[in-house]
Amino acid sequence: MYQSLLGSALVAAAFVLLGQAARVVHDWDIGYLTVNRDGYTTRRAIGVNGQLPFPPVYATKGDTLVINVHNSLDLPTSIHAHGIFQKGTNYMDGAGLITQCGIPPGENFTYEINADQAGTFWIHGHYSHQNVDGLRTPLVIYDTEPAALEYDEDMLIFLEEWYSNEFSVRMAEVLNPLVPFPPPPSFPYGLINGINGNDTAPITFVPGRKYRLRVINMSSTEWFKFSLPGHQLQIIEADGVDSVPHTVDGLDLGPGQRYSVVVTAHDTDQYNYQFNATLYANFVPFIPGMNPRYYQGLIEYKTGAPVKTIAQGDDRQMEWSDDIVLKAWDRQPLMPVDKTFNWTISSKKYSNNITLAILDEIPFQPPLVPPLFSAMSMGDLALNDTIYGPQTRAHVLRLNEVVEIVIHNPTILDHAMHLHGHDFQVTEYGPSGTQVDPDAPPIPVRKFSEWPMRRDTFVVPAFHYAKVRFHADNPGVWMFHCHMDVHFAMGLALTFVEAPDVLQKQQTIPQGFFDMCHRQGIPTSGNGAGNAGFNLTGLPPIPN
C-alpha cells in the first residue's frame, strides 16, 4: 500500500517534470532569397523558409530545442546557438569545420540543443559566415525563476547591420593581393527588428507598466548605441548572465553582445517619446550621413500624442553600459587563476601580399580534420596541442583549470571576442600600445569592483587590453574568435581543447555527424591532417 502510494507520487512527479520540459521544434529550410531589407538595395541573402527576418526562437529553461535543418544552399551550412554552453553535447555547437563538417547541400540534419540556461541569446549560421548574409535570429530562453527586477512585459529589440553586397564579395576584396589593404570601407545600413531602422514599428508603452527590453546586437562589424531618451534603463542581464540591477542612460553593444534592461513607463500618456539607435564604426572617419548613421523610432504611449524629443547633450556625459561596473547577480567571487594566456592582436601582410589577422602567432585556419574528431580519436595524444596542426592554434586545457586571457589590442579597431561553451568573468581594462592621436586622453586602468560580471562576448577597445577568466568545466573543443566576421575570416581565432581525456569518456558523437563528413570526403579520425601520431603531412602550408 505504502509502496504503491509512493509509486504513484513518483509517477506524478515525473509527469509534472516532463510536462514542464518541452521539446520546442522548428523546421528550418535554409536557402537563398532576394530581398530589400534596408530600403536601398535588393540583393541575394540567406533566410529560413523563404523569410528574412525569420521568427525568433523562444523556449523555457529546461526545454530541448529541436531544429530540423534542410540545406537548400549550394554550400554546406551549420548553426550555432551563441551563448549556449552545450554541456555534454559539444558536437551540437555547430562550429563549422571545428565541431562538425557542414550539412551538405540538399541534405537534412536535426540539432537538439538543451536550453539549460535562461537569458537572451541568438542562433546563427557558423559556416562560411552565413550569419552576415542573414542567417541569424534571436533566441530567448525564459527563466523559471523570477528576475532581479519585476516587469510586466518582455520585448525584443534586435539590431543588425546590412551590407549592399554579400560577405563573400567583401571578403574576396579584403583577401585580394591586388587591392591595397584595407579596401575602402563599405558603410552598412542599420536594421532594427529586421527592417530599416527608421521604419521600425513603434514600441508601445502603457503608462506605469514595466518592460524588459532584450537588446541584441547581431551585427558583424559595426557598433550600436541604443537609448530611450527620457527613460532610464536598468540593466539586469548581459549575455545570458543576470546582473545586479544597474541604471544607465544608454547601451553600447559590440557584435554578438546582448543586454536586458527594465524600463518603467511614465505614468501619463501625455507624450510620446523617441528611441535612438546609432550605428557607428570608430575606426573609420566621421562621414556625415554614413558614419555614424542615426535611427529613430517612436515610443508610443498614445496614438497622435505630441512627441517629446530630448536633446542628447554630450555623449560622453551620458552613462553607457559598461561590463566592468556591472556585478554578477549570483555574486560569484573572482576565481583564482591556474593558467594565463597573453595574446596581442595584430595583422601582417604575407609574402603573397595578402593581409591576415593574428591572435596567437599565426592566422587561424581550420585543419583537415575538425578538431573535435581529432580530440575524440587520438587517445592520450589528444592531450598534446601539436597534433591538431599549427594553424588550429589549439590549446589543451585540463579539467577545472581557471584560465585567464589577456588580450592586447594596440590597433585602431575595437574587437569583440567570443568564446564558445563558456562565459568569462570580465576583470580589467587598461591601455595598450600608443594611440595615434597624441591629444587623445590617456586610457585609465579600470578593474571590476566586486562579483565580476560574466558574459560570453567581450569587447577589447582600440588601444586597450582586456582581462577575463573562465572555468574549464566543460570538456569539448571550443572556438575563441573575434565576432567581427571579416577579422574571423582573416584568421583572428583559436581553439581551446578542454579536457579531451574526459571528453572521450563522457561524450559520443552521433553517427549523423560522421555521415556528413564522409559524404564530403572529410576524414573523421587522426590528427589535424588525418594521419597517425605527429605526422602532419598534408596540411596546407602556413603563410610566410
Ligand X SMILES: *[C@@H]1O[C@H](CO)[C@@H](O)[C@H](O)[C@H]1NC(C)=O
Write out the residues near ligand X by the rule CB under 6 A: 27, 29, 68, 70, 108, 159, 177, 198, 217, 219, 221-224, 226-227, 229, 252-255, 276, 293-296, 310-312, 342, 344, 352-353, 384, 386, 408, 416, 484, 531, 534-535, 537-538
CB atoms within 10 A of CB 345: 24
What does the CA dihedral 335, 337, 340, 342 come to, rounded to 10 degrees? 50
At its nearest, how many Å lie between ligand X and the CB of residue 155?
16
At its nearest, how many Å lie between ligand X and the CB of residue 484?
6
At its nearest, how many Å lie between ligand X and the CB of residue 218?
8
At its nearest, how many Å lie between ligand X and the CB of residue 424?
17
In angstroms, the Cα distances linking 447 to 207, 305, 324, 342, 467 are: 39, 45, 6, 18, 9
Of 21 and 399, CB closest to ligand X: 399
Residue 297's contacts (CB-CB under 8 Å, 6 or more residues apart) are: 192, 197, 198, 200, 201, 202, 203, 274, 275, 277
Q: Quickly count helices (H) and strands (E) in the chain.
A: 6, 33
At its nearest, how many Å lie between ligand X and the CB of residue 537?
4
Q: Which of 218, 172, 231 is nearest to 191 (CA)?
A: 218
At its nearest, how many Å lie between ligand X and the CB of residue 154?
19
Classify residue 123 by its DSSP letter. Answer: E
Of 56 and 88, CB closest to ligand X: 56
Give phi and psi for 429, each to the nearest 5: -125, 150
CA angle 530–535–539, rounded 5-degree value: 60
Of 7 and 50, CB closest to ligand X: 50
At its nearest, how many Å lie between ligand X and the CB of residue 15?
31
At its nearest, how many Å lie between ligand X and the CB of residue 61?
25
At its nearest, how many Å lie between ligand X and the CB of residue 522?
15
At its nearest, how many Å lie between ligand X and the CB of residue 7?
40
d(CA 340, CA 358): 18
Give phi and psi for 369, each to the nearest 5: -105, 125
Contact 482, 416 (CB under 8 A): yes
d(CA 37, CA 45): 10
Residue found by looking up cell 521544434 in the block: 25
Of 116 and 501, CB closest to ligand X: 501
> Can you say how many angstroms the Cα of residue 248 is from the centroid of all Cα atoms in its chain?
23
Cis ω on the peptide bond leading into residue 292 (within 30° of 0)?
yes
Residue 161's contacts (CB-CB under 8 Å, 6 or more residues apart) are: 188, 189, 190, 191, 219, 220, 221, 222, 279
Q: What is the largest CA-CA distance in the chain?
A: 84
Of 372 and 407, CB closest to ligand X: 407
